[in-house]
Chains A and B, each alone.
Chain A
Amino acid sequence: MPDDIPKLPRQRGKKNQPKDTAWKQQKLPALRPHYSITSAIPVTLITGLATLAMGIALFFGHQGSLEQEVLYTNCTLPNGTQVERVLRSEMGNETFQCAYNIILDQDYTEEVENLEADIISEIINNPSFQGDIKFYYGLNKFYQNNRLYFNSRNDQQLRGKINEIDGCDPLQYVDVNGTKVPIAPCGFVANSMFNDTFQLFYMNGTINGTTRVPWTTRGVLGETEMKRKFRNPVRAANQTLCDVFQGTIQPPAWRYPICQLGVNSTDPDVGIGFENIDFMVWMKVAALPKFRKLYRVLNKQVDMFSNGLPRGTYQLVINYNYPVDMYDGDKSFIIASENWVGPRNLFLPVIYLVVGTFLLLVTILFILMWLKQRLSRVHPT
C-alpha cells in the first residue's frame, strides 16, 4: 500500500537506521573453539589421564563387588536326583523342591572343578560376602518386553479399582454362565507371574546345624513406586481381603486367588494381594529378555549376619513351580554383594581403561606431530 512502500530517497535523517545492538548485529560475544595440535595436547592428556584414573578406580571397586549365580533350571531334588527340564507335562500342577549347596569360601578354588560333578553342590571360590547382600532371581529368554504382553495390564486396577480391566484383552474377564467376571489382576503380565520361592540355609559347617539366612523385603522396591502404583481395594473394618476381591477371578495360570498371595509368608513385610512384594517386582516389566529381579535383601539385624554372609556352605532350597523349559529358558538365583560401584559389571571399568589408553596414545601422537612441526620450523629445509 502507498505508505508501506518506502518513500523516495531524500535526506530524511536516520529514522530507519537499525539499532546497533549485539543481538541484531549478530555480535554476541562468542567462544570460537580453535583446534590446533598445541591446544589439543593438554586436553587429550588431561581427559585421558582422568578417564584412566576413573577406569582404575572402577576396576578396584568392581573387585569388591561379588556375585554367585546358581543356574537351577535343571532342578536337583533334595534327595540328590537331578531332574532335567522338569515340568514339561505337569506345568503348574506340582511343586518340586530343589536344593543346591553353595559354598562361599575364599580358598576353595581347586575344588570347583572337582565338585562340579557333584549333583548337590556347586562350590565356587569367593571371599566372604560382606556388606550389602542382595538376592536376585534371573530369567533368560523371557520376553517381558513384548509389546502386547507389556501393555496387557491395567494400572488403575492395580490401584484397587478391581473392575478396571481395559487393555487386558484377552485376559480381561471369564465368562461364567453369561456373566463377565473380571480377572484380578488382569492381563498377561500378571498371569505369568514368577512363582518360585526360595529359602537359603547357612550350614554352619555341619549338615545338621542349619540356620535360615534372614532376609527382608525392605529396600527391594522404592517407596513411591510401592505406595503410588499398587494398592489393595479399600475394605471396611469387618471385611477380609478376599471379601473385597469378591466378584473377581484369578488369572488362568494362577493356583490361588490374588487375596491369598503372600498370605503364607512368615515375613509380614512381604505383603498380600496387589501389595505383595513379589507381585509388585514382577509387574515392573524388564527391558531385556535376559533379566534379573531383586528378590530379597539380607537382614543384617540378625547377629550372625550383621557383617554379611559368613564364609561357609549354604543350601538353597527352591520351590520349583515356574515352567521355563517349554521355551528353552533358564532360571537362576543370584547372591550379590555390592559396593559403591553398584552391581558387578566389568564393562564400565574396561571401557574406561580402553578409552583412557586410547586418549593417551592420541596425546603421544600429537606430541610427536608437534615436535616434528617445531623441528621443521627451527630448521626450515
Chain B
Amino acid sequence: MPTEASRDNNRHIHLGELRTHDHPHHAHRFCSNRISTCKYNGFSFLPRFLYEQFRRYNNIFFLAIALLQQIPDVSPTGRYTTAVPFLIILSVSALKEIFEDVKRRRSDNKVNAFPVEILVDGQWVEKQWKDVKVGDFIRIDNDSLFPADLLLLSSSEQQGMAYIETSNLDGETNLKIKQALDITASMTSSDQLSHFQSDITCESPSRHVNEFNGNIEINGETRHFGIDQLLLRGARLKNTAWIFGAVIYTGHDSKLLMNSKRAPLKSGTIDVQTNYRIIFLFFVLVALALISAAGSEVWRRHNIPQAWYLSFLEHDPKGSFLWGVLTFFILYNNLIPISLQVTLEIVRFFQAIYINNDIEMYDVNSDSCAIARTSNLNEELGQVKYIMSDKTGTLTRNVMKFKRVSIGSKNYGNNEDDEFNDPKLMEDVERGDEHSESIVEVLKMMAVCHTVVPEKKEDGSDELIYQSSSPDEAALVRGAASQKVTFHTRQPQKVIVKVFGEDETIEILDVIDFTSDRKRMSVIVRDQDEIKLYTKGADTVIFERLRETSESQQMIDYCTEHLEDYASFGYRTLCFAVRKLSNEEYGQWAPEYKKAVLAIENRAKLLAEAAEKLERDMVLVGATAIEDKLQEWVPETIQALMAADIRVWMLTGDKRETAINIAHSCALVHQNTELLIVDKTTYEETYQKLEQFSTRSQELEKQEKEFALVIDGKSLLHALTGESRKHFGDLALRCHAVVCCRMSPMQKAEVVEMVRKLARHVVLAIGDGANDVAMIQAANVGVGISGEEGLQAASASDYAIPRFHFLRRLLLVHGAWNHDRSVKVILYSFYKNICLYIIELWFAIFSAWSGQTIFERWTIGMFNVIFTAWPPVVLGLFDHPVPADQIMKYPALYASFQNRAFSIGNFSLWIGMAIIHSLSLFFLTYATMEHQVVWDNGLTGGWLMLGNCAYTVIAPPPFSLISSFHFQFVVATVCLKALLECDSWTWPVVVACLGSIGLWIIFVIVYAQVFPHVGGIGADMAGMAYIMMSSWTFWLALLFIPLATLMWDLVIKR
C-alpha cells in the first residue's frame, strides 16, 4: 500500500496546525479523497482493453488470422479482410466500454464535487469532497453524508452524541448512536478547534466495518478510541444539527470503498456451450483446411505439368501442401462467426434495458423498477430449474404487526384484526390485581427491551417513527404504544416511556445484544431503584433459563399452548422473562461484562459467557405473536413457477413451525402434501432418516402423491457431509418442494452449491437481506429484493426486483424470451457463416482446390459486419417467441421453451440446414449459371457473376424478403422460413432484413464504381452492378433459388 507509513503498519496523523517542519505533510502520504470507480483512464485504456479482449479465445483466433493474412500471397482474401472487420468489431466493444466508463466517471465526478465545510485558518470554507485531506477538520450538518471516514470530535448534542444512518453501508435502516470521546466533546466552536493539537495513531485501512482501533494523544495524554467514534463515509448524519470531525481515512482507504467489491463474474451456461461449439467448429475448420489442402495436392499430381498454363505451380512453394493448409485455414476462418461476441453483447445490453424499463415490474410504493445489474445472464433466466428463496422479506413482507400476546393463563388478541386489538387487555389492567401487574410488566418490557430509536416526524406532529434494525422490535414498541405504554425518547443511558399518560424515566444500565447464537437479547435497567434484567427471545432458549418452580411450570404450560396456537398461523413468537437483581449482584457482574465489551479478541464469546451468568433463574411473564404478512401475489407466483416446472425451495433462518406455516400459506405445499421431516441431531440418525425417506419418496412417487422435504439446519449439517450427501441430494431433487429451516447464511449457500453440482441445472437464489448474499452469489442467477431490509442483497445480486411477484414476469417473460432470442442469435450466427463459407468448399471442388474465393474479397469481409449484422440483432431484440400474456397465463410454456434450448441436437439441425442450404444455393446457382451467359444481352459474367448471384441469394438468409417485395407469391414460402427464425414480425425486423438486402445492393452499386478511383481495390467488381442487375436470369434466380432452398426447411418442419 503506497499510503502506509514506512515504519510500521499503523497510520500516524497529526491534527491541527503543524508546529515544526519535521512532519512530512499528509497530502504526500495518504491518498486523495477523490474517488474513481472507472476501469480505465486515458493511458491505461488501450493496454487494459486489449488485455481484456484478448483473453477471449476467439479474439486471439481472429488476431492470428489477421496476422497470417499478412504473409504475401497466402491469403485468398487479401491482407486486410479480417483485420478491418475485426477492428470494427473491437471498436464497437471499445465504444461500449468507453460509454460505460464515462457513465461511471460522471457519477464519480458528481460524488467528488459534493460540498463540504473544511476548517482553514480558523474559518469554515466550503470545498468539494475531493479536496478533503487526512487530518482536516470538517463540519457536517444534519442529513448530510460523510465524505470520508471521520473521527467524531464533538457534536451539537450533549456529550458529543450523534445519530447516523448506515443504510448505504450495511442496509440497516435503523439509527446508530456514536459518541465522541469526553476530552474532545467540549470543543464546540471553530476557535477551539483551530487551536487543537493532537496526534493520532490508528490501524491502517481495512475493510472491517465493525472494527476499528486507534489512540489519540492530546497534550501528552493518550486515549483509546474505537468504532464508536468513527463516522464512516457513506453514512448519513441524522437527528443531530452538526458534528465536527477529523479526517482519518480518505478516498479509496475509506471502509466503504474498501468494501465495494464487484460481485463474482458469472457466466451463463449458454456462453460455456457456445465456447464448446466454437472449439468444435475450430476443429472442423482445421479438418476442412487439411482436406482441402490434400485435395489441392491430389489435383496438382494429376494436372501438373500437363496444364501448361499453370506450369509454374510445379516448383512454386505456394503450391505446396503446407501453404495450402494455411490458405484454406484463412479461407474458411469465418466458419467461426467473427461478429457473434459483439452481436450478443449488443443484444444483451438492450435486453437488460428492456428489463430495467418494464413497467410491469415497477413498484409504485418504492418508486423503483427491476434492475439488471449484469446483462450476461439474461438468457439464464429462461433456464431456471430451481429457485432457492429466502422467507423473511422475500416471501413475507417483513412488515411486522403485533398481533397477540399471552400473559399468564390468558391469550389476548385475535387473528382477524390487522393489528392487536383487544379491549380485554386494558380492562384486565384496570382491575389492578397481580395479573394486571404482569400485563404492565410485559408492556413495559416491550417498550424498553430493544434497541429502537424513536424519531419525531418532520412535520412536527407528536407521531413517532421507530427506527430499528429489527422490524420485530419496532412492531413490539408500536404494539406497546397502542396499549398506552409509549416509548418516546432515547438518551445514551436512559429511555423515557410514557406509561398510561405519565413519563417514566428508566435507566438502561447495559444492553446485551441479540445474536443468532444466543437467540435472545437482554437489557439491564434501573427502574425506581430496582435493578431488573429484561430478556426476550426464542421459546427454547428462554424456557431453559427459567427458575424452576411449580408455578413457573404452569406458566410454561399455558405459554406453550398459546405459542402452538400462534405458530399454527405462521406468527413469529417471542417469550419475555424478567429477573430482579440485587445491587451487589449487578455490581459484581458489571465490571466483568465491561471487560468483555472492551475485549478485542474473542469478544463475542466473552460477551456470551458473561451474559450467561446473568440470564438464569428468570421468571416468564408472557409471550408475544407478531404476524409477518405475505408479500402480495406470493401464492399465485409460487404456483405459476411450480407450474413452469421449477422446483421451489424455501431456505430460512426461522423455526420449523413458522417455516412450514408460511410454506402452506404461500402454496408451496398443500394440505395433502406429505411432509418428510428430518430433525435429527446426530449424523447416524440423519443418515438413517434420509435413507428411510429415500425409499418412502420412491413409493410416493409411484403412487403419484405430492411430498415435500422439511429439514433443519442441524440435520442439514450432517446431511451435507459424507455419504448422506448423496442420499440427501437424491431425495431433495425428487421432492416438489423443500423447506430448509434454521439455516445460517453459509448453509444457504452450501445448499445452493450442492443443488448446482448435483442437478447440473440452473439455480436461482432470491433473497433480500444481508444473510442471503452468500446464497445469491453462489447461485447461477442471484436475484435481490430491493425492499425493506436494506440493499445488501440487491447490491450483490445479478437482478434486483422491488417485489417478489415480479419474479414471475422476470422468468416467464424476460427469461423465456431472452433465452430463446439469444439462442437464435447464436445459432443464426453460426448458420449464416457456415452457410456462406461452406460454399467455398463446394467451389474448391471446381477451382482446382486452389483456395480461390467465390466471393469478392471485400464483400465477404463485410458480410458479418455490414450485410448480415442487423438480422441477428433484431432477432435478439424484437422476436417474441410467445406473447407475454400467454406465457404468464400458461407457465407450462416456460418448460417447453427450455426444451427449445441450445442442445446438441438443435445445433446439429441448424448446422445441417446451413450445409443443405449452402449445397442447394451453390448447385442451383451453378446449374443456372453453368454457361455463365445469363443475361439476354449476352455479356459473359465471368467469375464474379457466379459469386455475386450466390451471394445475393444468401445475403439475407432467412428473411429473403426481397423476394416477397418483388414477387408477392413467394411471401408464404419465405414466411415459413421466417417462422423458423422469428416468431413475430415487427417493423424493425422487416426493416432490418429488407435494409440489409438494400445495403448489399447499394454496396454493389457503389463498389462497382470504385475502381479505379481508390487505389487498386475493386477491379474485379468494376461495372458489375449494371451487368448483374440487368440480367433476367439474375432476378429469376433471386426469386427462385431462395424458394427452392427454403423448401428444405419446409420439408423438415412439416
A binds B: yes
Q: Which residues of A contact B (CB under 8 A)?
A: 1-6, 8-20, 24-26, 28-33, 35, 40, 43-44, 46-47, 50-51, 58, 91, 132, 134, 136, 142-151, 155-156, 159, 170-171, 188, 191-192, 219-222, 224-225, 228-229, 281, 284-294, 297, 323, 326-328, 336, 338-343, 345, 347-348, 351-352, 355, 358
Please tell me which stretch of B547-555, B628-636, B850-858, B861-869 contacts chain A, meaning at least 4 of its Cβ atoms lie within 8 angstroms of it.
B850-858
Q: How far is the CB of B553 from chain A (nearest CB, A)?
A: 46
Q: How distant is the Cα of A35 from the Cα of B974 in the complex, in angstroms?
A: 13
Q: Mark B312-324, 1 if CB is under 8 A from A, else 0.
A: 1100101100000
Does B1002 lie at the interface of the complex (its beta carbon under 8 Å from any beta carbon of A)?
no
* A15-B367 in contact given A28-B987, A222-B1023, A286-B932 (Cβ < 8 Å): yes
Query: Hey, which chain B residues are within 8 Å of A336, CB to CB?
Result: 933
> Can you report 27 A-B residue pairs in the complex whose CB atoms are below 8 A from each other?
A1-B107, A5-B791, A19-B359, A26-B878, A29-B987, A32-B883, A33-B978, A47-B970, A47-B973, A51-B969, A145-B852, A145-B943, A147-B850, A148-B850, A149-B850, A170-B316, A225-B1022, A225-B1023, A287-B854, A292-B933, A294-B939, A327-B308, A345-B931, A345-B1033, A348-B1033, A355-B1040, A355-B1043
Residue in A12, A288, A289 whose CB lies within 8 Å of B946: A288
Chain A min CB distance to B208 (Å) = 20
| Chain A residue nearest in CB terms to B947 | A287
CA distance A148 to B72 in the complex (A): 12
Please indicate the chain B residues that have their CB under 8 angstroms from the CB of A18 in the complex: 356-359, 362, 369
Whether A3 contacts B107 in the complex (CB less than 8 A), given A8-B167, A16-B362, A288-B926, comes out as yes
Report whether A285 and B983 are in contact in the complex, using a CB–CB cutoff of 8 Å.
no
Q: Are A338 and B791 in contact (CB under 8 A)?
A: no
Decide yes or no whether B880 CB sits under 8 A from chain A: yes
Interface check B43, CB cutoff 8 A: no
> Do the beta carbons of B847 and A145 come within 8 Å of each other?
yes
Chain B 229-278 residues near chain A, CB threshold 8 A: 234
Which partner residue on chain A sits nearest B854 by CB separation? Answer: A287
Q: CA separation between A358 and B1051, bound complex, in Å? A: 11
B1016 interfacial contact with A, CB 8 Å: yes
- In the complex, what's the smallest C-beta–C-beta distance from A142 to chain B, in angstroms? 8
For B331, the closest partner residue in chain A by CB is A147
Candidates B313, B357, B851, B1036; contact of A24 at CB < 8 Å: B357
CB of B37 within 8 A of chain A? yes
**A342-B936, A348-B928 given. 18 additional CB < 8 A pairs?**
A14-B367, A19-B359, A25-B357, A26-B884, A28-B988, A32-B983, A33-B979, A43-B972, A192-B308, A219-B938, A222-B1023, A284-B940, A285-B943, A286-B940, A288-B932, A289-B846, A323-B308, A342-B935
- Tell me the nearest residue of chain A to B937, going by C-beta: A219
C-alpha spacing A32/B989, complex, angstroms? 12
Q: Considering only CB atoms, which chain A residue lies closest to B1025 in the complex?
A: A224
Chain B residues with CB under 8 A of A24? 353-354, 357-359
Task: Decide if B975 is an interface residue (CB 8 Å cutoff).
Answer: yes
Query: Closest B-chain residue to A132, C-beta based?
Result: B938
User: Nearest chain-B residue to A48 (Cβ)?
Assistant: B969
Output the nearest chain A residue to B882 by Cβ-Cβ distance.
A32
* Closest beta carbon of chain B to A113's beta carbon, Å: 27
| Residue with the greatest number of chain A CB neighbours at <10 A, chosen from B359, B786, B970, B987 | B359
**Nearest CB in chain B: distance from A241 CB, A:** 21
Bound form: Cα–Cα A58–B1036 in Å: 10
User: Chain A residues with Cβ under 8 A from B76's Cβ?
Assistant: 147
Contacting residues, chain B, for A338 (C-beta < 8 A): 936, 938
Q: A-facing mask of B982-1010, CB < 8 A → 1, else 0?
A: 01111110000000000000000000100
What residues of B have a CB within 8 angstroms of the CB of A291 in the complex?
A: 931-932
Find out whether the CB atom of A30 lies under 8 angstroms from the CB atom of B1012.
Answer: no
Are B936 and A2 touching (Cβ within 8 A)? no
Kindly identify, within residues 865 to 887 of chain B, every residue whose CB is under 8 Å from any CB belonging to chain A. Answer: 878, 880, 883-884
CB–CB B367/A13 < 8 A: yes
In Å, the complex CA distance between A290 and B111 comes to 73
Complex partner residue of A17 from B312, B354, B367, CB under 8 angstroms = B367
Q: Smallest CB-CB separation from A159: which chain B residue?
A: B1012
CA distance A308 to B817 in the complex (A): 64
Rounded to whole angstroms, the CA-CA distance of A129 and B37 in the bound complex is 82
In angstroms, Cα B790 to Cα A209, docked, is: 109
Rounded to whole Å, the gap between the CB of A233 and the closest CB of chain B is 15
- What separation, in Å, do the CA atoms of A342 and B167 have in the docked complex? 79
Cβ contacts under 8 Å, B1040 to chain A = 348, 351-352, 355
A5, A148, A343, A345: the one within 8 Å of B168 (CB): A5
Q: Which residues of B contact A192 (CB under 8 A)?
A: 308-309
Contact (A222, B1026) CB under 8 Å given A134-B938, A148-B850, A285-B943: yes
Interface string of B3-44 (1 = CB under 8 A from A): 000000000000000000000000000000001010000000
Cα of A147 to Cα of B786 in the assembled complex, Å: 63
Report B488 CB to chain A, min CB distance, Å: 22
B1036:A222 contact, CB within 8 angstroms: no
Q: Output the least CB separation between A40 and chain B (Å).
A: 8
Instruction: List CB contacts (< 8 Å) of B383-408 with chain A.
Output: none
Q: Using Cβ atoms and an 8 Å threshold, which residues of chain A touch B880?
A: 26, 30, 32
Inter-chain contacts of A345 with B (CB < 8 A): 928, 930-931, 1033
Cα–Cα, bound, A343→B309 (Å): 29
A145 and B846: CB pair below 8 A?
yes
Would you call A35 and B1047 a contact (CB within 8 A)? Answer: no
Q: Which of A2, A281, A294 has the most CB of B within 10 A?
A: A2
A9 in contact with B930 given A327-B308, A341-B1032 (CB within 8 Å): no
Interchain CB contact under 8 A, A229 and B1022? yes
Separation in Å of the A172 CB from the closest CB of chain B? 12
Known contacts A6-B786, A228-B1022, A291-B932; is A355 also within 8 Å of B969 by CB? no
Question: A286 is contacted by which of B356, B943, B1022 (Cβ under 8 Å)?
Answer: B943
Alpha-carbon distance between A13 and B365 when the two chains are bound, in angstroms: 8
Least CB separation from A11: chain B residue = B365
Q: B313 — which chain A residues lie within 8 A by C-beta?
A: 146, 148
Known: A8-B173, A287-B946, A326-B306. Is A347-B930 also a contact (CB below 8 A)?
A: yes
Inter-chain contacts of A151 with B (CB < 8 A):
73
Cβ contacts under 8 Å, B107 to chain A: 1, 3-4
Give the distance to chain B from A330, nearest Cβ to Cβ, in Å.
Answer: 14
A142 CA to B307 CA, complexed, in Å: 8
- In the bound complex, what is the Cα–Cα distance between A381 and B808 (angstroms)? 41
CB <8 Å contact, A146 and B310: yes
Contact of B1044 among A17, A20, A221, A351 (CB under 8 A): A351
In the docked arrangement, what's the CA distance between A221 and B76, Å?
27
Chain B window 944-986, contacts with chain A (Cβ cutoff 8 Å), 1 for yes, 0 for no = 1111000000000000000000000110110110110001111
B454 sits at the interface (CB 8 A)? no
Which residues from chain A contact B362 at a C-beta distance below 8 Å?
Answer: 16-18
Q: Which residue of B lies closest to A53 (CB)?
A: B969
Q: B932 to A287, Cβ gap below 8 A?
A: yes
Residues of B within 8 A of A355 (CB): 1040, 1043-1044, 1047
B795 at interface by CB-CB < 8 Å: yes
Is B364 part of the binding interface, using a Cβ–Cβ cutoff of 8 Å?
Answer: yes
Known: A28-B988, A43-B972, A293-B940. A16 touches B368 (CB 8 A): yes
B1030 nearest in chain A by CB position: A222
Q: Which of A19, A136, A288 has the most CB of B within 10 A?
A: A288
Query: Hey, which chain B residues are within 8 Å of A28, CB to CB?
Result: 878, 986-988
CB <8 Å contact, B357 and A19: yes
Tell me the smallest distance from the CB of A255 to a CB of chain B, in Å.
15
A31 touches B984 (CB 8 A): yes
Question: Does B924 reach chain A (CB closer than 8 Å)?
Answer: yes
A91 touches which one: B111, B145, B308, B929 (CB < 8 A)? Answer: B308
Residue pair A2, B933 in contact (C-beta under 8 Å) = no
The smallest C-beta distance from B69 to any residue of chain A, in angstroms, reads 14
Closest to B360 in A: A25
Q: Are A155 and B1019 in contact (CB under 8 A)?
A: yes
Distance in Å from the Cβ of A365 to the closest Cβ of chain B? 9
Cβ contact of B37, chosen from A1, A33, A156, cutoff 8 A: A1
How close is B373's CB to chain A, nearest CB, in angstroms? 11
